[in-house]
């Protein structure tokens, strides 16, 4: 059973566009929602994260929107660049050893 | 920066072989993890360890075992490799003192033929 559902599976946008990746969860015990970015040949790297007591977090061009009542959260990439082309994983976590990943979204930003 | 190093980037092994995947972290982290990554399935937890000689099964432990004899090193063992274990294997570590962000290694792509 997938604890975190992620969509879309793949996404293609033009440079400057705003790709949006959506995730949903069921377990209300989750208290940390990170996003990981993975480039080909590399392991995932923590990109940005949010806790459920805030509705939005912004770091540079990356923004997480969080809707606690709907149990949904999303990643927005402003002014996307070809260098943002990567696979993005959302995740939900409770405690150090309970991290559940979504299935990933392969983003391609066309110049 | 925390560094998690996986000893091999690519491995090709034969069916039935015993396979060792090694992972070393350099920041004295208590928690270490082994995941496998498959297209369309995301990352799935195989095993994790929260201290030396301690281990816990993850979501898909069947066909795998682990060893943690030293704090910095966490090994994944495929007792008898099978073709359905062809995958990307990722090691990660996490501090036990309230941290939540995992640090991953670059992965080992294992092909079992």
Check CB contact under 8 Å for B42 and A101.
Answer: yes
Contact list in A for residue B101 (CB cut-off 8 A) is 34, 46, 49
Q: A with B: how many residue pairs have Cβ under 8 Å apart? A: 52
Alpha-carbon distances, residue B14 vs A106, B23, B48, B82 (angstroms): 31, 21, 26, 8
Which of helix, strand or coil describes residue B85? Answer: helix
Strand boundaries in chain B, DSSP class E: 4-6, 10-13, 19-25, 31-38, 42-51, 54-57, 64-70, 73-78, 87-94, 103-104, 108-112
Asked if residue B56 lies in contact with residue B111, where contact means CB atoms within 8 angstroms, the answer is no
Mean pLDDT of B62-90: 97
| Residues A1-45 pLDDT 10s | 678 999 999 999 999 999 999 999 999 999 999 999 999 989 999
The whole-number pLDDT of residue A35 equals: 96
Contact list in B for residue A1 (CB cut-off 8 A) is none
The whole-number pLDDT of residue B27 equals: 85
Check CB contact under 8 Å for B92 and A43.
Answer: yes
The whole-number pLDDT of residue A97 equals: 76
> If you ran DSSP here, which 8-state letter would residue A83 be given?
G
Q: What is the mean pLDDT of chain A?
A: 94
The whole-number pLDDT of residue B96 equals: 60
| Residues A28-39 pLDDT 10s | 999 999 999 999
Check CB contact under 8 Å for B103 and A96.
Answer: no
């Amino acid at each position: 059973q997938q604890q975190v559902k992620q969509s879309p599976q793949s996404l293609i946008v033009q440079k400057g566009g705003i790709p949006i990746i959506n995730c949903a969860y069921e377990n209300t015990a989750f208290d940390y929602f990170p996003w990981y970015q993975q480039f080909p040949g590399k392991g995932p790297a923590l990109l940005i994260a949010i806790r459920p007591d805030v509705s939005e977090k912004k770091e540079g061009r990356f923004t997480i929107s969080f809707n606690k009542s709907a149990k949904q959260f999303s990643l927005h990439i402003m002014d996307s660049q070809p260098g943002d082309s990567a696979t993005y994983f959302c995740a939900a976590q409770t405690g150090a050893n309970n991290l559940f990943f979504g299935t990933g979204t392969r983003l391609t930003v066309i110049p | 920066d925390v560094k998690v190093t996986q000893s091999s980037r690519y491995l090709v092994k034969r069916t039935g072989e015993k396979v060792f995947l090694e992972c070393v972290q350099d920041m004295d982290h208590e928690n270490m993890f082994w995941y496998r990554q498959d297209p369309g399935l995301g990352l799935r937890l195989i095993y994790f360890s929260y201290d030396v000689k301690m281990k816990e099964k993850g979501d898909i432990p069947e066909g795998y075992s682990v060893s943690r004899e030293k704090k910095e090193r966490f090994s994944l063992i495929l007792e008898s490799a099978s073709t359905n274990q062809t995958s990307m294997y990722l090691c990660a570590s996490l501090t036990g003192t309230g941290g939540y962000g995992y640090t991953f290694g670059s992965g080992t792509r294992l092909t079992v033929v």
